[in-house]
């Protein structure tokens, strides 16, 4: 059995519109936790970029990965927090989160302005170590209270670029699709986050595995990549960036190597079961070296 050799695997996920009650929410959360756990058992490092909403998906992944058996490589989980979510959390909640992670196999990265790096706690001070720049320190009086970017869309896109630049492969599951009739399905940013990350990865020639069984953006991505048939008779009104993202993904289909397309189609239809981790590992291994769409592609710079 092959493993992933410490590769950073980006989990691009959020609750899909199909989650309508507590039972379906638990089903999705359990699938996400099982997926992350199974991949770490294949020696992967999980990368996720969620907010700090109490009981949200960030908490679920952290809980699933923080107390794995001894012998697993550290870290098992890299959490990348975007600047809008950092500002929303505030100093007290963010500091409390970092305190809770000190004894766990979790590394926290923050995106602040145009900088990205590890952020750690030192007493009452938060120490931010941006790549290639001097350390910055924050306390309750200096912690960011507004985003540094011109608009919130740019801040989200910057964080998404940091995740795709530093990850070896991406798995999409669930995700918002911008249904105007469903307030819970509204996404943040110009494009749906799950789709924007898939676009970044495919543009860089990196593996994207779209799990369509859980609906949402993951299913739409699988359809756009011709891994699932689209039986929709008509599209309901959505936020404007959704169709733009699907068109761009459809244009990136040729980035998928022919030798992995069959397994990608299997994964697109599969529920999260232990055997899926073996299929995912095979796809990532057989994909080969990244082949950026152009020299402007999202080439890896410095891995997590």
The pLDDT value recorded for residue 298 is 46
Tell me the pLDDT of the chain averaged across its residues. 93
Q: Is 268 part of a structural domain of the chain? A: yes
Question: Which percentage of the chain shows pLDDT scores above 70?
Answer: 93
pLDDT for res 296: 41
Confidence of residue 132 (pLDDT cuts 50, 70, 90): confident
Q: How high is the pLDDT of residue 73?
A: 54
Distance from C-alpha of 139 to C-alpha of 144, rounded to nearest angstrom: 10
What's the structural domain count of the chain? 1
- CATH no. for residue 80? 3.40.50.450
Predicted pLDDT at 303: 60
Evaluate if residue 302 carries a pLDDT over 70: no
- Residue 299, pLDDT score: 46
Q: Using an 8 Å Cβ cutoff, are 178 and 96 in contact? A: no
**pLDDT average, residue stretch 215-222:** 97
Residue 293 lies in a domain: no
Mean pLDDT for 277-296 is: 89
**Separation CA 263–CA 300 (nearest Å):** 25
In a domain, 84, yes or no: yes
Dist CA 12 CA 156 (whole Å) = 13
Q: Which is it for the CA torsion 85, 91, 93, 99, positive or negative?
A: positive
Does residue 70 have a pLDDT over 60? no
Instruction: Give a yes or no: residue 262 inside a domain.
Output: yes
- Give the sign of the dihedral formed by CA 173, CA 255, CA 46, CA 37: positive
pLDDT surpasses 90 at 203: yes
Per the structure, the complete domain to which residue 274 belongs is given by 8-287
Query: What is the rounded CA–CA span in Å between residue 185 and residue 96?
Result: 29
For 226-270, how does the pLDDT look when each residue is reduced to its tens digit (9 = 90+)?
999 987 667 899 999 999 999 999 999 999 999 999 999 999 999
Q: What is the dihedral of CA 53, 22, 224, 201, to 10 degrees?
A: 30
Query: What does pTM read for this prediction?
Result: 0.94
Segment 181-205 shows an average pLDDT of 97
Residue-level pLDDT at 277:
96
pLDDT, tens digit, 9 for 90 and up, residues 45-68: 999 999 999 999 999 999 999 866
Which pLDDT score is estimated for 17? 94
**Does 1 map to a domain?**
no
2 occurs within a structural domain: no
Q: What is the pLDDT of residue 1?
A: 56
The pLDDT of residue 43 is 93
Residue 297: per-residue pLDDT: 43
Instruction: Give the pLDDT band of residue 7 (cuts 50, 70, 90).
Output: very high
pLDDT score of 198 more than 70:
yes
> 71 falls in which pLDDT band (50, 70, 90)?
low
pLDDT digits (tens, 9 = 90+) for 75-111: 899 999 999 999 999 999 999 999 999 877 899 999 9
- Structural tokens at position 165: 């630049």
Does residue 303 belong to any structural domain of this protein? no
Q: Is residue 240 part of a domain?
A: yes
Q: What is the mean pLDDT of residues 268-282?
A: 96
* Residue with tokens 């699938």, as numbered in its chain: 31
List the one residue out of 178, 190, 195, 191 whose CA is nearest residue 236. 178
The DSSP bridge partners found for residue 264 are none
């Amino acid at each position: 059995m092959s493993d992933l050799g410490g590769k950073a695997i980006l989990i691009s996920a959020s609750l899909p519109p199909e989650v309508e009650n507590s039972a379906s929410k638990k089903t999705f959360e359990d699938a996400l936790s099982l997926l992350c756990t199974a991949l770490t058992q294949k020696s992967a490092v999980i990368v996720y970029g969620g907010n700090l909403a109490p009981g949200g998906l960030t908490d679920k992944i952290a809980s699933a990965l923080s107390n794995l058996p001894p012998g697993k490589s550290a870290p098992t989980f890299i959490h990348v927090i975007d600047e809008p979510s950092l500002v929303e959390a505030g100093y007290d909640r963010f500091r409390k989160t970092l305190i809770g992670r000190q004894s766990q196999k979790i590394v926290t990265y923050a995106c602040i302005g145009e900088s990205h790096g590890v952020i750690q706690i030192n007493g009452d001070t938060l120490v931010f170590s941006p790549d290639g720049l001097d350390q910055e320190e924050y306390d309750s009086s200096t912690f960011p209270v507004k985003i540094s970017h011109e608009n919130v869309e740019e801040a989200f896109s910057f964080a998404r670029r940091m995740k795709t630049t530093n990850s070896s492969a991406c798995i999409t599951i669930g995700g918002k699709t911008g249904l105007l009739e469903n307030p819970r399905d509204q996404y943040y940013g110009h494009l749906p986050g799950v789709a924007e990350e898939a676009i970044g990865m495919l543009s860089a020639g990196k593996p994207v595995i779209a799990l369509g069984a859980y609906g949402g953006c993951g299913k739409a991505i699988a359809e756009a990549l011709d891994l699932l048939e689209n039986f929709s008779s008509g599209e309901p009104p959505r936020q404007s960036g959704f169709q733009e993202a699907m068109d761009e993904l459809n244009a990136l289909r040729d980035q998928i190597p022919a030798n992995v397309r069959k397994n990608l189609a299997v994964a697109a239809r599969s529920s999260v079961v232990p055997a899926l981790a073996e299929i995912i590992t095979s796809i990532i291994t057989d994909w080969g070296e990244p082949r950026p769409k152009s020299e402007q592609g999202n080439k890896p710079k410095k891995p997590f």
